[in-house]
Amino acid sequence: LAAVNELSFDVWPGEILGVGGPNGAGKTTLFDVISGFAPASGGRIVLDGHDITRSAPHRVCHRGLSRTFQLNAAYDSLTVRENILCASYYGFKNVIFPKFRFDRATRDRADDAIAFVGLEKFSDTIVGILPILQRKLLMLAAAIVRQPKLLLLDEPVGGLNRQEINEIMELILRFRDEHKLTIVLIEHVMRFLVALSDRALIMHHGQKIYEGPASVLARDKTVVEVYLGERMAE
């Protein structure tokens, strides 16, 4: 089974590209390949002019790519601030001999990221007991503290209610506008994907079945059939 098959696309600076598709379409595998977690068996991945196809995840990160995960990945036994400090310290370069204390620049970046996502009152909270919204905000803070060129968001609003979804949407748009950031996001919540994305890419069985404006996504016959079935689409 080819999880991602013959897939080619470009993402432009400052753009938000929404990636959708049914379960098993290959969306998260696509992110794993781009970010170096799963080696590509063919093709090329180019970030800002640099070929990162065979790069390890930490080297992809140091090139300027950050990502979040479907599951709320974090160091559960550390506090919110300790998690963000780790991301701030190790996100820019290989640290072979870590220091005993974080430097001022690392601490300032961490504090700015925590403040941006509104986690100040949770700063000293152990991550393992955080509610789901704060876990999502923690992953977002850990991703943006590195000040990336490209941000990959894997289901950033999965499991959230309508008000929480709106909160995440506002944060992403504000960070994109302030930092001229390029974003690729995976999401099953179609309201979020359509409202946030400049362009949409829909996958099915590892292949691209739609690429174009997010606003007309629901009128594409192939996309509707994939999501609802041929009879329901008719």
Model confidence band, residue 234 (pLDDT cutoffs 50, 70, 90)? low
In the sheet that 65-67 helps form, which strands lie side by side, from edge to edge?
65-67, 150-154, 182-186, 16-20, 199-204, 207-213
Model confidence band, residue 232 (pLDDT cutoffs 50, 70, 90)? low
Span 43-99, pLDDT tens digits: 999 999 999 999 999 999 999 999 999 887 899 999 999 999 999 999 888 877 778
Average pLDDT over the chain, rounded to whole? 91
For the question of whether the overall pTM of this predicted structure is more than 0.85, the answer is yes
Residue 230 predicted with pLDDT over 70: no
Residue 226 predicted with pLDDT over 80: no
Span 102-142, pLDDT tens digits: 899 999 999 999 999 999 999 999 999 999 999 999 999 99
Specify whether the CB–CB gap between 171 and 143 falls below 8 A: no
Among candidate residues 98, 193, 81, 199, the one with its CA nearest the CA of residue 142: 81
Reduced to 3 states (helix: H, G, I; strand: E, B; else coil), residue 43 is coil
- The long-range contacts involving 49-53, CB below 8 angstroms and separated by at least 24 positions, are none
Higher pLDDT, 63 or 228: 63
Residue with tokens 């941006």: 116
